[in-house]
Amino acid sequence: MKKFLATSFLLIISCFLFAQEKVEMADELRSSGKIYVVVGVLVTIMVGIILFLIMIDRKVSDIEKKLKNKA
C-alpha cells in the first residue's frame, strides 16, 4: 500500500511537472518587434515573384496575339 501510494504520488508529480514545462517559442523575436522585419522581407520577395510571373504572363499573351494576327 505504501509503495502504491508513493508511486502514484510520484506519477502525479511528474504529470504536474510535465504540464508546467514551458515549450520554448521565439517569443523574444516577437516581443522585440524584429519578426516584422522578417515578414517584410518575405512579403517583398513574394510580391516580387508574383510581379515577375505577371510580366511573363503578359509577354506570353503578347506573343500569342502577334502569332494570331500573323496567321
Nearer to another protein, 1 or 26 (CB): 26
Instruction: Give the chain's length.
Output: 71
Complex with another protein: residue 15 or 60, whichever CB lies closer: 60
Please report how close the Cβ of residue 5 comes to another protein at its closest, in angstroms: 30
Is there a contact between 35 and 29 (Cβ–Cβ < 8 Å)? yes
Dihedral angle sign, alpha carbons of residues 48, 53, 57, 60: positive
User: Which residue, chain included where needed, has cell 510580366?
Assistant: 55
- How many CB atoms are located within 10 Å of the residue 35 CB? 13
Residues that bind another protein (CB under 8 A): 21-26, 35, 38-39, 42-43, 46-47, 50, 53-54, 56-57, 60, 63-64, 67, 71
Give whichever of 4 and 28 is closer to another protein, judged by the CB atom.
28
